[in-house]
Amino acid sequence: MDAQKLSNGTVWLSPPTVHDIDAITACCQEPSVGEWTTMPVPYTRADAEKFVYDTVTPGWATRSPTWAIRLGEYGPVVGMIGLSPIYLTNRDPETAEIGFWMSETVRGRGLMTQAANLVCEVGFNVTGFAFERLEWRAIVGNNASAAVARRNGFHYEGLLRGGGVQRGTRRDVWIASRLFTDPPGPAEDWPAGV
């Protein structure tokens, strides 16, 4: 699929380019971004270059799109969101994992919830990526990420003990999913504390 832009008039999603490398590098210096992701820490400009050239650019051809989150059509990067098919591990070409991060400077305004909604719409759309299931995973304790997933209709499925590896350390992971038949509104079946 060709790279595409998405917007609801409040957030703009577009593929990050070489012009965004410095902004990506700056955002990824925030400790809270590295705390909940698997990206390298410390995060260097070379890491951002590798991300743009080796992940973003080829990803669109393999149903693995990545969007930079912006507050204006041509604004600077304030976050990142994408879909990664998981067929390489479970041979299911109709399932993808949603992943995202956002700069501390713009958190708490519902922007990531809006961005995730846009990505879910195109992820399920038959003229988009036509996935049947989207999975969300987060390191246990990432309550902000869980709130975004919950508000976007992902249903909590459980705890994967040692289900992820972050920079060489095995971590417990929460998992939730949304099927293309699930409504987009908030999911109410999450346990207290998640």
Which phi and psi (to 5°) does residue 156 adopt? -65, 130
Residue ranges and CATH numbers for the domains of the chain are 6-179 (3.40.630.30)
Please give the Cα distance from 70 to 189 (Å, whole number): 31
Q: Where does the pLDDT of residue 6 fall: very low under 50, low under 70, confident under 90, or very high at 90 and above?
A: very high
Token match 């958190």: residue?
A: 107
Residue 93 is predicted with a pLDDT of: 84
Mean pLDDT of 107-136: 96
pLDDT digits (tens, 9 = 90+) for 170-179: 999 999 999 9
Contact criterion met (CB below 8 Å) for 84 and 97: yes
Mean pLDDT of 155-171: 96
DSSP structural state of residue 132: S
Residue 89 has pLDDT above 60, yes or no: no
Contact criterion met (CB below 8 Å) for 159 and 174: yes
pTM equals 0.94
Burial of residue 152, with CB atoms counted within 10 A of its CB: 0-12 exposed, 13-18 middle, 19 or more buried: buried
